[in-house]
Structure formats: structure tokens, C-alpha cells
Amino acid sequence: MKGWMQGIFGEDSLIGRVTSRIWILFGANLLFVLFSLPIVTAGPAFVAMYHVCLKTLRWDNNLNPFREFWKGFVSNFKQALIIWLGALAAFAVLILDISFTVQTEEMVRIFRYPLYLLAGFFLMVLFHFFPVCAAFSDNLKGLLRNALFFAAKNPVRALLVLFLNAGPMIWTYRDLVRIPLYAFVWACIGFSGIAMICSRLLLKDFSIYLPDVSVPDETGENV
């Protein structure tokens, strides 16, 4: 009986693996929400969350999400912070420009469409930068170049990554009646769940340029 129970609920069983994965997603999501509250640290928090997700997929389904999140947050803080602050400034300008074009005469309103495309492009690159920064060690210019490379390598996947990150958030704000339910999902597993899906989509191409998983990861800085 004891052996049968261990077979069902052990770490290597289906239930054990699912439970471990849920725990990792919950822990990473909780820290992401807490570290994103100051807004300015949301960029490093995104990278740290991807660090946990990518490392889970490549190395260990039983890792400590709190310890790994902190490692990813600290080791990538500077570069992620610079990109995040730059993105906030760029989107502030874009929002002002879009608001201006919408409120002006019909002749000028047509320019809002190129601004929408530009905002979508920036978001697509940004949502690729976070996992790239978590996976690879490089300078800021190299990381941005790699984010553009992986986005351009598979445009359909790039659009899917953009949709997965932006779509649910837009839907949440449009459906105000169910805001409490959405808030609960986002607070528990929403952000990390999306990050895990995006990590799985990107990992096939990432793995070509990453060390073999048989090589121990002693630094903990990258996946």
C-alpha cells in the first residue's frame, strides 16, 4: 500500500510533477507581483520570472522558485532595468501621440494606425527581450540584437508571443464585470503561466545556442 501511494504521489509520478510545476509557477508569480509593485522594477521581475520558467523546463522540475527568482532578478537587474525604463518612456510618448491623433481632425487621425503598428513592434521586441535576457549572457546591445533575431526568425511565433502577453491583459480591462476573478488568476498563476508557455515556444530555438543540459549550472545566473 505504501509503495502504491508513493508511486502515485511520488516526485516522479504524474501527480508529483504537476504539483511541483504548479508550486513553481505560483512561487514565481507571487514574487513577480510583489517585485513589480514599484513599477520601475517590473522589467527585472519579468526577466527573473523567465529565468525560473526556462530553468524549470531545461534543468529541474523541483527547483526552489524563490531562490531562482532572486538569482535571476539580481544577475540581470541592470540591463533589464535600463530596457524597462526606456520602454516606459517610449510608450509614454507613443500614448501621447496616439491621444493627440485621435482628438484631432479626421485628416490627422489616420496617423494613429502607424503608431499602433509601432507600439505593437516595440511590445513584440520587449516580450522577446525578457526571455532572451534570462537565457543568455551578453551586453545590452547584444541582448537587443538577439531579441530582434528570435522575433524575426519566426514571425508567426513572435505574433503569438505578443498575443499571449498583451491579449489576456486587454481582455481583463475590457471585462470589468469579472475583474475580481481575473485579479485572482493574475495574482496566483496568470503571469507565470503565460511566461511558461512563451518559454516553451522559444526554448527550441534557444537550446541551439545554450549549453547542453548535461553540463552542471554552477553560477545560477543563466539557464
- Residue the block writes with cell 516580450: 127
Structural domain includes residue 183 = yes
Which stretches of the chain are assigned E, i.e. beta strand? none
Q: Which residues have CB under 8 Å from 192's CB, separation 6+?
A: 24, 25, 26, 28, 29, 32, 49, 52, 53
Amino acid at 58: R
Structural domain includes residue 67 = yes
What is the C-alpha separation between 83 and 40, in angstroms, rounded?
11
Structural domain includes residue 94 = yes
Of residues 76, 170, 48, the one with CA closest to residue 119: 170
Q: What integer pLDDT is reported at residue 185 of this predicted model?
A: 93
Structural domain includes residue 29 = no
Of residues 38, 64, 50, 20, the one with CA closest to residue 164: 50
Structural domain includes residue 136 = yes
Structural domain includes residue 5 = no
Grid cell, residue 28, equals: 514565481
Of residues 11, 140, 138, 5, the one with CA closest to residue 81: 140
Domains identified in the chain, total number:
1
- The one-character DSSP state at 139 is -
Residue 64 belongs to domain spanning: 38-209
What is the residue-level pLDDT of the chain in tens, covering all 223 positions? Answer: 444 445 554 555 667 678 889 999 999 999 999 999 999 999 999 999 999 999 999 886 778 999 999 999 999 999 999 999 999 999 999 888 888 887 776 666 777 788 889 999 999 999 999 999 999 999 999 999 999 999 999 999 999 999 999 999 989 988 888 889 999 999 999 999 999 999 999 999 999 998 876 554 544 456 7
Q: What integer pLDDT is reported at residue 132 of this predicted model?
A: 97
Structural domain includes residue 78 = yes
Calculate helix-pair angle for 65-75, 77-103, nearest 10 degrees: 80
Structural domain includes residue 125 = yes
3-state class (DSSP) for residue 41:
coil
